[in-house]
């Protein structure tokens, strides 16, 4: 079996978007990759992100919010930034990692009723799931 690839998902606070992507990539890639997620800051894992992933059968309740510096020793094969802020502030990794970027809306900034806010989380979750599926097919087929 080939050596698993290392994948890092990076966003601003490592609380929503990167956690969603981390959950889906872990599920989709299994033993093909070690998936990490981090932020350029740490805001804690958002309980609404945990809830919408649970609705889709993915448990990210055990995830932690990590700072990107914690993984400076890991030789990443792929670095995926999931927000413009992280893309612009992304530290330079001394590696030949393939860098990918997609700006997902931040569901933590959603406003409205509780249901409207959860609706935003679900919409972003579904966008992230589609991206994770496409990434898996493109790079791990």
**Percent of the chain, pLDDT > 70?**
95
Among candidate residues 11, 58, 82, 97, the one labeled active-site is 11
Per-residue confidence band for 72, with pLDDT thresholds at 50, 70 and 90: confident
pLDDT at residue 93, as a whole number: 62
pLDDT at residue 88, as a whole number: 80
**Percent of the chain, pLDDT > 90?**
81
Neighbour tally for 118: CB within 10 Å = 17
Tokens 């496409």 correspond to what residue?
134
Domains and CATH numbers, the chain: 5-133 (3.40.50.2300)
- What would the mean pLDDT of 50-63 be, rounded to a whole number? 97
Could you tell me which of 117, 79, 115 has the C-alpha nearest to residue 99?
A: 79
Residue 81 three-state SS = strand
pLDDT at residue 89, as a whole number: 75
Could you tell me which of 4, 5, 11 has the C-alpha nearest to residue 101?
A: 11
Active-site residue flag, 16: no
d(CA 126, CA 90): 25
Per-residue confidence band for 22, with pLDDT thresholds at 50, 70 and 90: very high
86-140 pLDDT, tens digit per residue, is 778 766 665 688 999 999 999 999 999 999 999 999 999 999 999 999 999 999 9
Among candidate residues 7, 45, 60, 83, the one labeled active-site is 83
Burial class (CB in 10 A: 0-12, 13-18, 19+), 99: middle
State if pTM tops 0.85: yes
Mean predicted lDDT score pLDDT of the chain: 93
Among candidate residues 90, 100, 110, 118, the one labeled active-site is 90
User: In the structure encoding, which two tokens stand for residue 124, read together?
Assistant: 């972003």
User: In the structure encoding, which two tokens stand for residue 36, read together?
Assistant: 């990490």
pLDDT at residue 3, as a whole number: 84
């Amino acid at each position: 079996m080939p050596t698993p690839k290392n994948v890092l998902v990076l966003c601003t606070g490592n609380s929503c978007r990167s956690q969603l992507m981390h959950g889906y990539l872990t599920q989709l890639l299994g033993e093909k990759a070690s998936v990490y997620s981090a932020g350029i800051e740490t805001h804690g894992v958002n309980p609404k992100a945990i809830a919408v992933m649970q609705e889709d059968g993915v448990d990210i309740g055990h995830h932690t919010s990590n700072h990107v510096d914690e993984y400076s020793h890991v030789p990443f094969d792929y670095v995926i930034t999931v927000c413009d802020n992280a893309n612009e502030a992304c530290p330079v990794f001394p590696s030949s990692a393939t860098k990918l970027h997609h700006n997902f809306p931040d569901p933590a900034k959603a406003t409205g009723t509780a249901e409207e806010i959860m609706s935003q989380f679900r919409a972003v979750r579904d966008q992230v799931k589609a991206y994770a599926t496409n990434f898996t097919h493109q790079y791990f087929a």
